[in-house]
């Protein structure tokens, strides 16, 4: 009987965690596009003004980023300024939680039909590669190996630490800017 009382709290905790992770991921995507040439090269193939959204159905947390040119992203929070070009939607908050808590790879979640892609599949694959690159930098290797399809064999510790530090500094700066604007 007590288990039923804890379910709503567990669901709310998952929702808050996913919401926080989407905020960090959105800011980190903007950050990696400012510091990593490989990620910028992937993003350059996207059209300028391209809007990408990742969200939880039906009215769950979301993140929206825009390609502003030259491989750079701008994080728009959870609101899109116009219709998006690509949307990756988790069918349930529990599915999103599995992915953003790094218990399940994005590719596995897609294979298990936990996500929907609305838009060009080629762009979805490109965005997934950028997200995987981001995760290899900002997560410890042991966790990143669980999160990404294939951990890059040529990524050395000094590059990983330097890139992660630069990305986290960008994320922290963006959170500070948001706090000052509030």
Task: Render pLDDT for 57-96 as a digit per residue (tens, 0 to 9).
Answer: 999 999 999 999 999 999 999 999 999 999 999 999 999 9
Q: What pLDDT shows up at residue 178?
A: 85
Residue 6 above 80 pLDDT? no
- In 3D space, the residue among 22, 42, 13 whose CA is nearest the CA of residue 89 turns out to be 22
Nearest by Cα to 146 from 155, 138, 136 = 136
Which has more pLDDT, 62 or 148? 62
Residues 56-71 as b or e (16 or more Cβ within 10 Å = b): beeebbbbbbbbeeeb
Domains of the chain: 2-181 (3.30.1050.10)
DSSP lists the bridge partners of residue 64 as: 53
Residue tagged 């599995």 (tokens):
98
Element (H, E) at 63: strand 62-69
Strand, helix or coil for residue 137: helix
If DSSP codes are grouped into helix, strand and coil, which group holds residue 87? strand
The pLDDT of residue 68 is 98
């Amino acid at each position: 009987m007590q288990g039923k009382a804890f379910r709503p709290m567990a669901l709310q905790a998952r929702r808050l965690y996913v919401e926080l992770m989407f905020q960090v991921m959105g800011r980190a995507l903007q950050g990696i596009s400012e510091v990593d040439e490989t990620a910028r090269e992937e993003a350059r193939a996207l059209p300028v003004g391209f809007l990408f959204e990742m969200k939880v159905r039906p009215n769950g947390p979301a993140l929206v980023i825009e390609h502003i040119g030259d491989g750079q992203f701008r994080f728009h929070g959870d609101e899109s300024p116009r219709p998006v070009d690509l949307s990756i939607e988790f069918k349930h908050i529990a599915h999103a939680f599995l992915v953003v808590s790094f218990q399940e790879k994005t590719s596995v979640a897609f294979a298990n039909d936990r996500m929907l892609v609305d838009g060009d599949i080629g762009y979805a694959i490109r965005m997934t590669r950028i997200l995987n690159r981001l995760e290899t930098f900002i997560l410890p290797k042991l966790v990143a190996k669980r999160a990404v399809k294939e951990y890059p064999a040529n990524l050395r510790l000094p590059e990983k630490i330097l890139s992660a530090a630069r990305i986290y500094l960008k994320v922290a700066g963006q959170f500070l800017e948001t706090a000052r604007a509030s």
